[in-house]
Chain A
Amino acid sequence: MSDGAPVVHARGLSKRFGDFTAVDRLDLDIAKGEVVGFIGPNGAGKSTTIRMLCGLLRPSAGEAIVAGFDVARQPEAVRAHIGYMSQKFSLYADLTVAENLRFFGGIYRVPREELAARMRFAVTMAGLEGRETALVRTLAGGWKQRLALGCAILHRPPVLFLDEPTSGVEPKARRRFWDLINSLAADGVTILVSTHYMDEAEYCNRIVLIDGGRLVAAGSPTELRKHDLGGALFEMESATLGAALTVLRAAPGVVEAAIFGDRLHVLLAPAADPAALAPLLAARGIAAGPPMPITPSLEDVFVRLVSRHRAPEAA
């Protein structure tokens, strides 16, 4: 690989299952040491893309080069240069921490004289010192995921594909996991990590947003945040979110409304009057707080981008 060439490079990458297109002409470039967040709703095609890049699925069209090797023609060479964490937890539950590491060290042919040191590194990284003989099934989610990462990097791969590694992990452990990802990247590892936690986008150098198998947007968090939503954003509280949402979506001047946690985010056309919303809700007997202007978060931008992507004529 020459300097500066992307470590992961895909052009027109597509995957069809029967007549359903799961990934549609995706272009992707990831530079050495970059952490790219792969973001999109469930079913967007994140896992399918990652599996193609790992050589687990054959692309229906397009090409992808990973670490200098063509995924369709040289899948074995690709495999030797990547680490992968599948979306489903996939360590052996009935093996201990050390036995799992030794197993993956064995099938990746980690030199015997180095295995002990690398196992120690992985154990320390996962925060599992002193628990080497614990059965993996007895570990809590965060530890399991860090151990899985430890197994995936035992052979020092230059490229890592992590498919929703933090799903189902509590926030503090997620934070810790991202610290690990960033420290690996600092050592020069190139990482593509998918997630459906929008807040995790902040930890990435770059974000690739996909929906329905297609690229929606790409850029750094700062670039994406600057994206013009095409209106002003307001936050509202209500005890009956669902009912309020229905009314707001039909209200004049509302470009878009969505539930964000326990609140509503409402995007109003520049000329619309926010004060008109409360009487509209009250007329339907829905109690709601007053609309408060807020600065859009990355998540607001993603929601807007995805809905604009889905219905371009409405936007």
Chain B
Amino acid sequence: MFDRILAMLAKEFIELKRDRWAMVRLIAPLVIQLVIYGYAATFTVNHVSTAVLDLDNSQVSRALISHFVATGRFDIVDYPSSQAQFNRDINTGTAVAGIIIHAGFAKGFANGAGAPLEVAVDGTNSNTALIALGYVSQIVGVFEQERAPPAVGGGIGAAPRAVNISLQARPWFNEGLDDRWFFIPGVIGTLAMMQVISLTAFAVVREREMGTLEQIMVSPIGRVEFILGKTVPFFLIGFGDVALVTGLGALLFHIPFIGGPLVLMLGSTLFLLAAIGFGLLLSTQSRTQQQAFALNFFIVNPFFILSGFAFPIAAMPVALQWFTLINPLRYYIVILRAVFLKGVGVAVLWPDFLALFMLSAIMLVVSVLRFQKSLD
């Protein structure tokens, strides 16, 4: 058995070595996506382009505006002189957010009768809008606290789209680092999954298309030997992915790693086996690389979205929550976050390990059984 697997492995690694672009294809997407997720995919929003229509034009209103600028969250791109021009700014997208300080703002602020402030946001990007709205309330709240005489019942009344002026702290208002810590462990799992599933999915199909699979099928090689020879390289690549992204994450984003490396390795092993199982299933289902590509897309994307990576599983419709049970990424992300941020071990994580173990066992057995040494 070993000699055949070794022959397969030697062949696979020579092919990989001859492929000049293999290293670029394997590493570049990882680094690029890590950097994108690390820097861009946070819930923190900075430099929101903003239009300010100051109808009060008082010292207080100008102080409030400079408060906005000082936080760095908002870039004032225009001071429109009329409501019409203000509307145009928002409608044309020149500004994503708009603040109207109505006449009487200073007076209302001083006597505690309520200072009229209106905020408009471009709802087409609802995420940014909501976050920006949150910032507005924060900034106004801070401003109010610093400035206002403790007039009972006083404050800034914002209308008609009310600004929430309660001073409850929002997590994203801290340093924005929390997001990254939350994201990067998930990124590790996502990237490893994407790479391993697609590499595996294409591996068998490519040989089928090239005609070499038919030549291998007439040889006495066993299915398990063939599949092992084909997938062990991807398992190693997957492990390399996890190590690389973990290292880069620690280096670039200072992600803590308080858990045990062995816990991570065990979790990664089970997860990669499950990913290989799914990739193999795609590969044995596809006749052409195009089919494999399409199937890959329909598997990897739902797995990604329904993994709890960004959207909490508990908030999903029940049917989708059920679907997440067969999603290996779901369990792996729990394990990753726990290992990186919480430092808990198998004693706590065993349900996730067990789920991954069962998933990988089922997927591997099914895909080996589905792989027939026949062209029927």
Question: A residues within 8 Å of B by Cβ?
Answer: 51, 54-58, 75-76, 79-80, 82, 84, 86, 88-95, 99, 102-109, 135
A-B contacts, 25 of them at CB < 8 A, read A51-B375, A54-B218, A56-B218, A57-B375, A57-B376, A58-B374, A76-B220, A79-B218, A79-B219, A79-B220, A80-B220, A84-B215, A86-B211, A95-B11, A95-B18, A99-B14, A102-B7, A103-B7, A103-B10, A105-B7, A106-B4, A106-B6, A106-B10, A107-B7, A135-B18
- Which residues of A have CB within 8 Å of B211? 86, 88-90
Question: A56 and B214 in contact (CB under 8 A), knowing A79-B219, A106-B4, A108-B220?
Answer: yes
Given known contacts A79-B219, A94-B15, A94-B19, A106 and B375 CB-to-CB distance under 8 angstroms: no
Question: For residue A58, which residues in chain B have a CB less than 8 angstroms away from its CB?
Answer: 374, 376
B375 proximity list for chain A (CB < 8 A): 51, 56-57
Nearest Cβ in chain A — how far from B210, in angstroms?
Answer: 7
A107 touches B15 (CB 8 A): no
* Separation of A86 and B214 alpha carbons in the complex (Å): 7
- Tell me if A107 and B221 are in contact (CB < 8 A): yes
Interface hits, B217-274 → A, CB 8 Å: 217-221
Q: Which residues from B are CB-within-8-Å of A88? A: 211, 214
B361 at interface by CB-CB < 8 Å: no
How far does the alpha carbon of A107 sit from the alpha carbon of B218 in the complex, in Å? 11
Asked whether B212 is an interface residue with its Cβ less than 8 Å from the other chain, the reply is yes
Interface pair A103/B11, CB less than 8 Å apart: yes
The answer to whether B219 and A55 touch across the interface, beta carbons within 8 angstroms, is no
- Say which residue of A51, A82, A92, A102 sits within 8 Å of B15 (CB atoms): A92
- Which of B215, B217, B376 has the most chain A CB atoms inside 10 A of its CB? B215
What residues on B are CB-neighbors of A104 within 8 Å? 219
Interface set, chain B 174-214, CB cutoff 8 A to A: 210-212, 214
Contact A82:B218 (CB < 8 A) given known A56-B375, A103-B11 = yes
Q: Give every chain B residue within 8 A of A109 (Cβ-Cβ).
A: 3-4, 220
- B26: CB under 8 A from chain A? no
Q: Are B219 and A57 in contact (CB under 8 A)?
A: no
Question: Which listed residue (A51, A92, A99, A106) contacts B212, Cβ 8 A?
Answer: A92
Interface residues of B in 1-42 (CB under 8 A from A): 3-4, 6-8, 10-11, 14-15, 18-19
Q: Which residues of B contact A93 (CB under 8 A)?
A: 210
A102: which B residues are within 8 A, CB to CB? 7, 10
Q: Is B67 an interface residue (CB 8 A)?
A: no
Contacts of A92 on B, CB cut-off 8 Å?
11, 15, 212
Tell me how far the C-beta of B211 lies from the nearest C-beta in chain A, rounded to whole angstroms: 4
Task: Please indicate the chain B residues that have their CB under 8 angstroms from the CB of A79 in the complex.
Answer: 218-220
Known: A92-B15, A102-B7. A107 touches B374 (CB 8 A): no
How many Å lie between the Cα of A104 and that of B11 in the bound state? 10
A124 to B218, CA, bound (A): 25
In contact, B374 and A106 (Cβ under 8 angstroms): no
| Min C-beta distance of A147 to chain B, whole Å | 12
Chain A residues, Cβ within 8 Å of B6:
106
Asked if B102 CB lies within 8 Å of chain A CBs, one says no
Closest-CB distance, A237 to chain B (whole angstroms): 41
Q: How far is the CB of B165 from chain A (nearest CB, A)?
A: 67
Q: How far is the CB of B103 from chain A (nearest CB, A)?
A: 76
In the docked arrangement, what's the CA distance between A76 and B216, Å? 12
Distance in Å from the Cβ of A98 to the closest Cβ of chain B?
11
Q: Does A57 lie within 8 Å of B374, measured CB to CB?
A: yes
Chain A residues with CB under 8 A of B218? 54-56, 79, 82, 84
Report B-chain residues with C-beta under 8 Å of the C-beta of A108: 219-220
Q: Give the CA-CA distance A107 to B373 in the complex, in Å.
A: 14
* B16–chain A nearest beta-carbon distance, Å: 10
Shortest CB distance A114–B (Å): 13
- Residues of A close to B373: CB separation below 8 A: 56, 75
Known: A90-B212, A109-B220. 8 other contacts (CB 8 A): A79-B220, A84-B218, A88-B211, A90-B210, A94-B15, A94-B19, A106-B8, A109-B4
Complex Cα gap A94–B207 (Å): 13
Decide if A107 touches B8 in the complex (CB within 8 Å). yes
Residues of chain B lying within 8 A (CB to CB) of residue A91: 212, 215
A135 to B218, CA, bound (A): 24
Query: Which residues of the other chain, B, contact A107 by a CB distance below 8 angstroms?
Result: 4, 7-8, 216, 219-221
Point out the residues of chain A lying under 8 angstroms from B4, CB to CB: 106-107, 109
Q: Which chain B positions have C-beta within 8 A of A135?
A: 18
- Contact residues in B for A55 (Cβ distance below 8 Å): 218, 374
> Closest CB of chain A to B374's CB: distance in Å?
6
Complex Cα gap A54–B374 (Å)? 10
Which residue of A has the minimal Cβ distance to B16?
A94
Task: Across the interface, name the chain B residue whose C-beta is closest to A94.
Answer: B18
Alpha-carbon gap, A92 to B211, bound state (A) = 10
Least CB separation from A77: chain B residue:
B220
CB of A95 within 8 A of CB of B14, answer yes
B217 proximity list for chain A (CB < 8 A): 56
Contact B10 A56 (CB under 8 A): no
CB pair B214–A106 under 8 Å, yes or no, is no
Partner of A95, one of B15, B214, B219, B221: B15
Q: Which residue of A lies closest to B212 (CB)?
A: A90
Q: Which residue of B lies closest to A96 (CB)?
A: B14
Is the beta-carbon distance between A106 and B7 smaller than 8 angstroms?
A: yes
Query: Complex: how many Å from CA A106 to CA B8?
Result: 8
CA A128 to CA B221, docked complex, whole Å: 27
Q: How far is the CB of A164 from chain B (nearest CB, A)?
A: 13
A95 CB contacts on chain B under 8 angstroms: 11, 14-15, 18
CA distance A95 to B18 in the complex (A): 8
B215 contacts A86, C-beta separation under 8 Å: yes
Question: A103 CA to B212 CA in the complex, in Å?
Answer: 12
